[in-house]
Every structure is written in structure tokens, then in C-alpha cells.
Amino acid sequence: MYKRITVKIGSNVLADANGGIDLQRLGHLVHQMAELHRHGIEVILVSSGSILTGRSELRLAKHLDVVSSRQVYSAVGQAKLIGRYYELFLAEGIHCGQVLTTKESFETRSHYLNQKNCITQMLAEGIVPVVNENDTISLTELMFTDNDELSGLMASMMNVDALVILSNIDGIYDGNPSDPSTQVIRKIGRGKSISQYIQETKSKFGRGGMSSKAGTAQKVADEGIEVIIANGKRNDILTDLILEEKDVLCTRFEPAEKESSNVKKWIAHSEGFAKGELRISPKAVEAITAADVARSLLPIGVVSVTGEFEKNDIVRICDEDGNYIGVGLSRYDSRKIRQLAGKKGEKPVVHYDYMFISDTNH
């Protein structure tokens, strides 16, 4: 039985046929989460739907550009959405609380730890955190790719046992979902890449799509957390999956066995914040990916450096052809690495404690 889970609810799950909020669905989902809560399972909810709600609520007097309308819709929509959650949880005898965050809040370790502390204390008080991006201020390049990415960061930060991503389809299909012979892939084994199956259909109401869900899921599973992609429109989906442990139709990503340290978890999700890239030699790839021993990345293994970054910035680590190997915290700034690249006997560029190697075969 799980002790702590993250549940992500996408806008598509909450949308009704007219593009408004389906209050019945919302109530049903809250009821299920309350059931989990009563069984002693801590739930961290990541809910989309602020923009959807705002849009269905408002008739703007003036035509606004995409950015401004997003800000206005989310400001109003989030207020209504959290209000609904608050009332629905309270009717179940549970308090929930709002946590709004931005990508920037995950970039520095101190902000990251502040957020973690807030959610830890809420959970200890029996309060359900309802997390969303602060869409009023996170714009363009400062945005999370989508709430799937945010839910992955939350799952990893809070060290949950499972991340359940609820969407409006049953899981990841092995072909085009509209083709009758296509089936849901029930289980994705450790370190298996499923990119060949992903059909890029963008979500109607949210920003995410299947490839971003799969990307997040693989990353989180790489860290040792089980990920389930399931249909949030299906009744009793959460209780069936989590409490009854029924064999519900969904896609499960088998978690890696390794236990990552907290710093490594943070680094694993920092790829999006990487300020530069290091390409490394085949020998260095072999050294840092060795399964039996943890090795740091030495300057001798660095072939080239892209981007300008400071000491302690996050960098992507790739092989000579640019294939992604992992991410790490650089102990030197980019200028210094350029000087040291290929040299013997220098201190590591990325220490193994501050490096995350992906398990997925790309």
C-alpha cells in the first residue's frame, strides 16, 4: 500500500462538454482523494484548470493578447477552482490549501527546500496541498512545459511512492488511439523508451500532450517512483487503483530500483534549467554510466562546452553526438571548463553526488 502519492488532474478531466468545469467530476475526484486520505494515504494534488475555469467564467470587455488573457483568466479561474476544492474537501471533513508555484521556485536549492518544507508541514497537519503553477506571473520561457512537468517535480521533491497522472484517455497506446486494433500499453519496463509509440496529439484544454506525459513519467520512474497514466473520467479510478489495487486499464511505468538521494532527485529534474551542455568522450560516457561504481566526470573526458554558465549551474551531459546522458551541477564556470577540457589530473567537473544519469536508452 502506498503511503504518499501525487495525483495530477489535467484540464481535460475537469472540462465538461461546453468547456466549463464539470463539478460532478470534480466532486467525485475529491471524494476519492478523501477516501485515500481516510486510509492514511497522503495525497499531494496537482490540479490544472485555472485557465479553463477563468475562460468559462469571464466575457472579457476588450480583446486581450494571449499573454494578458492567460493572466486574467488564470487569476479569476484559480480563485474559483480553489474555492470549489476547498468546499468539496471540507464537506469530506478535510482541509485543503493552495500552493502556487513557478519554475523559478525549483531552480535554486533554497527555494526548493522552502517549498518542500511548506508541503511537508501541510501533510503533517492532514491538509491536502492543491498545487498549480502561478499562471498569473509565469509566462513564456518562465513557464513549466505543462502541469505534467510540475507534477513530476512535486512527486520527486516530496519523495512519493507513486505519481498518478489523470488524463481523458486510458493510457499510452501502441498506435493511433482511433484505430480499433490499437491497445493501451499496460506496463513499461525499467529503462525502456516508448517514444516510438507516442502520437503527438495536443491536449484540447491544457498545454500538455502524450509525449510530455511520457517524458515526465520516464524521468520520474528513473528515480525509483512508480508512475501511472490513467483515465480521470472513469469512475472510481483512484480508489480502484490505489485502495482496491484492481487491474484497471492504464499505463504503468515500472520504477527503477535505485534510490536517489534528495540532491540527485533535484538535479534529475533540473534538465530544463540547464544553462549549458558538456559533450563528453566515449570513455567518459562509459565511466560515468558504469553500473557498479559511481564515478565523477573529469575534465579529461570533456570534448566540448556549449553555453555560458557559472560555477554551480546545472549542465546537460551528452555524448559526442549530442545524445542525452544526464545532468549535473558544474563545479567550474564555462570558461574554466574550456581551459581544462581534455586535461589530465584536474578535479572533477561534475562530482558523482551531484550528477544524475538517465536509465532510459535514447
Shorter beta-carbon distance to ligand GLU: residue 136 or 193: 136
Strand 251-253 vs strand 302-306: parallel, antiparallel, or unpaired? unpaired
Q: Is 323 annotated as a binding residue?
A: no
Choose which of 37, 84, 103, 207 interacts with ligand GLU (CB under 6 A): 207
Cα angle: 51, vertex 56, 62; to 5 degrees: 85
Query: Could you say which of 129, 152, 208, 215 contacts ligand GLU (CB under 6 A)?
Result: 208
Angle at 161 between CA 160 and CA 163, to 5 degrees: 75
Please state whether 169 falls in left (phi above 0), alpha (psi between -120 and 50) or beta: beta
Binding mask 279-308 for ligand GLU (x = CB under 6 A): ------------------------------
Indicate whether 206 belongs to the interface with ligand GLU (CB under 6 A).
yes
Applying CB under 6 A, does 146 fall inside the site for ligand GLU?
Answer: yes
Q: Is 147 annotated as a binding residue?
A: yes
Q: What residue is closest to ligand GLU based on CB? A: 206
**Single residue of 9, 37, 46, 50 touching ligand GLU by CB under 6 A:** 50
Residue 51 touching ligand GLU (CB under 6 A)? yes
Q: Which is nearer to ligand GLU, 82 or 162 (CB)?
A: 82
| Total residues interacting with ligand GLU, rule: CB under 6 A | 14
The verdict on 152 binding ligand GLU (CB under 6 A) reads: no
Q: Are 32 and 239 in contact (CB under 8 A)?
A: yes
Shortest distance in whole angstroms from residue 335 CB to ligand GLU: 37
Of the ranges 94-102, 203-211, 311-319, 350-358, which one interacts with ligand GLU (CB under 6 A)? 203-211
- The label of the residue with cell 479510478 reads 237
49 binds ligand GLU (CB under 6 A): yes
Q: Nearest distance from residue 148's CB to ligand GLU, in Å? A: 6
The smaller minimum CB distance to ligand GLU, of residues 46 and 302, is found at: 46
**357 - beta bridge partners?**
326
Beta strands 324-329; 314-319: pairing state: antiparallel
Among 71, 147, 156, 211, binds ligand GLU (CB under 6 A): 147
At its nearest, how many Å lie between ligand GLU and the CB of residue 212? 8
- Which residues contribute to the site for ligand GLU (CB under 6 A)? 11, 48-52, 132-133, 135, 146-147, 206-208
Binding residues: 8, 48, 135, 147
